[in-house]
Amino acid sequence: MTFAELIDAADADGAAALREILRLAHAASPEAEEGVSYGVDALLHQGRAVIGIGTNAKGYALFPFSGSVMSMVADDLNGWRVTKGSVGFDGAKPLPSAVVERIIGLRLAEIAQRK
């Protein structure tokens, strides 16, 4: 499922939350391209996954494809469904833009260091 299909299938609040995440990601990495990483729809920067978004039984999950990024932002995500590799959210409780920006920035920095 592409991001467009994911947004089309979402309710109004979910679609707004998804659009905001993608807007923030494209603002941080305008050249990012849509692709798939580990079976998850992702935005790729220089061929590496920056973030991915998938659906789950409770809504959506944001994947930064980095356990270290998740550990750095875990304290900012009290009240959300956090695992070692993702954070769950839904349209009624979207992720804060500042946290999404931080996740994206940290992941882009990791990618830059791995060159």
Range of the domain at 27: 3-113
CATH number at residue 65: 3.90.1150.200
| 32, 50 contact by CB (below 8 A) | yes
Say if CB 95 and CB 62 are below 8 A apart. yes
Alpha carbons 109 and 27: distance in angstroms, whole number: 15
* Residues facing residue 26 across a β-bridge: none
* 76-95 residue pLDDT tens: 999 999 999 999 999 999 99
Burial of 46 by CB count in 10 Å (0-12 exposed, 13-18 middle, 19+ buried)?
A: middle
Q: Which helix (H) or strand (E) holds 33?
A: strand 33-37
The structural domain count of the chain equals 1
* Alpha-carbon 77 to chain mean position: 13
> To which residue do tokens 């304290």 refer?
75
pLDDT tens profile 20-69: 999 999 999 999 999 999 999 999 999 999 999 999 999 999 999 999 99
Rounded Cα distance, 77 and 92, in Å = 15
In this prediction, residue 47 carries a pLDDT of 95
